[in-house]
């Protein structure tokens, strides 16, 4: 059984083809610049390598058709015909309160999800476009929706209700929803394994740091608070999103600059964050390089981002009462020792101590590492996320009729002997070039 996963953004489609019986990735890639010109596909085929070429994709249907054609291509492909694909798992960003778990997509789902578009106007419409395009191209197999917000449906009311007129919640469902749910689900359950505890016996602070950034307080294995809100614009400093700020600024600047709602929306989502501070960078590698070369605003961006991360760790530390581990994940969290180190500096007073050498070594997407320092009361993990595996496992379980909400469902990666074959193979090559990585790779404790 092969499962195709699709993650449709406004101008991109990420994909992966996974062979369930062999527990391995056959292919993965992304089509970028969909609908804006200059589109191209960046494609990896297991055993064949990487391929990148331009192809005009005016819409998501053409992009998904390109993906299917590439998967079938004699030179670049990994399957002979479409019959091997038994299901499609779609990442759906905002499920509102309607969806607390993944579901099989039917006409009723599409109507309900479309009605939620107001809650995530930048995300839900392209998600829907992708679903409709994929269903048209692959009409004879089940399509499943994996909700980004579902993980956070366990939050208590005091965490998700805003101090705004309550009727806004009653009439329009204005509340905190949170995002990056599949990432948090994966790393939380992996952290429990690494700690040698049950999935619901751990208190964790998880930091998903990429272009989008959010923090998650996890108590007894479930989400009790998160930094993103009604939309993904609230919370931590992000690549282009503003994060936390005085809402009065928005009103003030609308009056000063005569901004429309759409113009302000564009500024908060696409022209703020790291880009807003530096004026030119979003990639943290560029920011760190510029800071090292003396760029004052790049230094400021790092200061602001890590200060905000530190504040959220403090808030969630006291909200949880006891913390077993802090987790760094996603592109920046996994690869930037600067962001991690600056975030953790000065937390010794509350028992959070990291090892500077281990932190510097930890730069891999193929192994789970530990950077905990001597005397720390809290363990510190760097766990490469695997959202696509969650998509796959949810889809397979839905097709087999055994899926349920994560508190009643067990994933393969919750097992102490779980291994990711592709990552295990890749880390061998990394260790040949960087043997010191072996010092910090963390494995689940052996059963006595």
- Given 330, 356, 384, the domain boundary residue is 384
Bridge partners of 21, per DSSP, are: none
Is 172 contained in some domain?
Answer: no
Catalytic entry in 2, 148, 386, 394: 148
Is 240 contained in some domain?
Answer: yes
Predicted pLDDT at 4: 96
Extract the tokens encoding 56.
């005009």
Residues 209 and 337 in one domain: yes
Residues 214 and 348 in one domain: yes
Task: Tell me the C-alpha distance between 399 and 111, whole Å.
Answer: 22
Q: What is the pLDDT of residues 245-268, one digit of tens each?
A: 999 999 999 999 999 999 999 999
Residues 272 and 360 in one domain: yes
Predicted pLDDT at 104: 94
Is 428 contained in some domain?
Answer: no
Cβ atoms of 141 and 81 within 8 Å: the answer is no
Domain with residue 269: its CATH number is 3.30.420.40
Predicted pLDDT at 9: 79
pTM of the model: 0.94
Predicted pLDDT at 447: 63
- The count of other CB atoms within 10 Å of the CB of residue 36 is 12
Query: Residue 365 is part of which domain span?
Result: 197-384
Is 424 contained in some domain?
Answer: no
Task: Tell me the C-alpha distance between 434 and 116, whole Å.
Answer: 47
Residues 220 and 337 in one domain: yes
Cβ atoms of 31 and 39 within 8 Å: the answer is yes
Residues 71 and 218 in one domain: no
Predicted pLDDT at 448: 46
Q: Could you tell me which of 142, 185, 203 has the C-alpha nearest to residue 409?
A: 185
Residues 211 and 283 in one domain: yes
Cβ atoms of 343 and 310 within 8 Å: the answer is yes
Predicted pLDDT at 128: 86
The structural domain count of the chain equals: 2
- Given 344, 359, 384, the domain boundary residue is 384
Residues 143 and 202 in one domain: no
**Residue-averaged pLDDT of the chain:** 93
Is 116 contained in some domain?
Answer: yes
Stretches where the chain sits below pLDDT 70 are: 122, 447-448
Predicted pLDDT at 94: 85
Residues 19 and 129 in one domain: yes
Residues 252 and 379 in one domain: yes
Which residues are CB-contacts of 139 (< 8 A; sequence separation ≥ 6)?
Answer: none
Residues 201 and 141 in one domain: no
User: Is 148 known to be catalytic?
Assistant: yes
- Given 147, 170, 189, the domain boundary residue is 147
Residue with tokens 């839905």: 398
Predicted pLDDT at 352: 98
Task: Tell me the C-alpha distance between 117 and 94, whole Å.
Answer: 8
Is 364 contained in some domain?
Answer: yes
Residues 8 and 103 in one domain: yes
Is 407 contained in some domain?
Answer: no
Helix, coil or strand: residue 130: helix
Q: What is the pLDDT of residues 149-191, one digit of tens each?
A: 999 999 999 999 999 999 999 999 999 999 999 999 999 999 9
Cβ atoms of 302 and 338 within 8 Å: the answer is yes
Is 234 contained in some domain?
Answer: yes
Residues 139 and 256 in one domain: no
């Amino acid at each position: 059984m092969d499962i195709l996963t699709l993650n449709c953004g406004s101008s991109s489609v990420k994909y992966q083809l996974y062979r369930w019986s062999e527990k391995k990735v056959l292919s993965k890639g992304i089509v970028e610049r969909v609908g804006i010109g200059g589109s191209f596909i960046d494609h990896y085929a297991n055993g064949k390598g990487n391929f990148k070429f331009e192809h005009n994709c005016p819409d998501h249907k053409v992009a998904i058709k390109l993906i299917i054609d590439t998967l079938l291509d004699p030179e670049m492909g990994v399957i002979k015909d479409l019959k091997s694909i038994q299901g499609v798992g779609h990442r759906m960003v905002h499920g509102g309160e309607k969806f607390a778990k993944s579901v099989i997509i039917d006409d009723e789902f599409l109507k309900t999800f479309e009605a939620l578009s107001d809650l995530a106007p930048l995300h839900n419409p392209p998600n829907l476009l992708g679903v409709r395009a994929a269903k048209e191209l692959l009409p004879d197999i089940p399509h499943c929706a994996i909700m980004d917000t579902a993980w956070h449906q366990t939050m208590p009311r005091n965490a998700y209700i805003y101090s705004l007129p309550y009727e806004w919640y009653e009439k329009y469902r204005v509340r905190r929803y949170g995002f990056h749910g599949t990432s948090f689900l994966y790393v939380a359950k992996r952290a429990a394994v690494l700690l040698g505890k049950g999935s619901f016996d751990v208190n964790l602070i998880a930091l998903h740091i990429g272009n989008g950034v959010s923090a998650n307080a996890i108590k007894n294995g479930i989400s009790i608070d998160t930094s993103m809100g009604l939309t993904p614009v609230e919370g931590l400093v992000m690549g282009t999103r503003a994060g936390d700020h005085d809402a009065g600024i928005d009103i003030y600047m609308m009056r000063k600059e005569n901004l429309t709602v759409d113009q302000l929306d564009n500024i908060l989502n696409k022209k703020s964050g790291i880009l807003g501070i530096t004026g030119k960078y979003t990639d943290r590698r560029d920011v760190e390089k510029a800071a090292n070369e003396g760029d004052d605003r790049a230094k400021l961006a790092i200061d602001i981002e890590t200060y905000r991360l530190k504040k959220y760790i403090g808030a969630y530390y006291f909200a949880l009462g006891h913390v077993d581990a802090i987790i760094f994940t996603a592109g920046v969290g996994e690869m930037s020792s600067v962001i991690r180190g600056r975030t953790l500096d000065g937390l010794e007073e509350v028992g959070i101590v990291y090892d500077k050498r281990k932190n510097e070594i930890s730069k891999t997407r193929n192994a789970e590492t530990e950077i905990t320092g001597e005397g720390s009361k809290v363990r510190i993990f760097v766990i490469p996320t695997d959202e696509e595996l969650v998509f796959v496992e949810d889809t397979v379980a839905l097709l087999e009729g055994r899926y349920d909400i994560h508190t009643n469902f067990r994933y393969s990666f919750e097992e102490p002997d779980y291994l990711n074959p592709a990552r295990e193979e890749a880390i061998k090559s990394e260790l040949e070039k960087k043997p010191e990585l072996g010092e910090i790779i963390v494995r689940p404790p052996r059963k006595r």
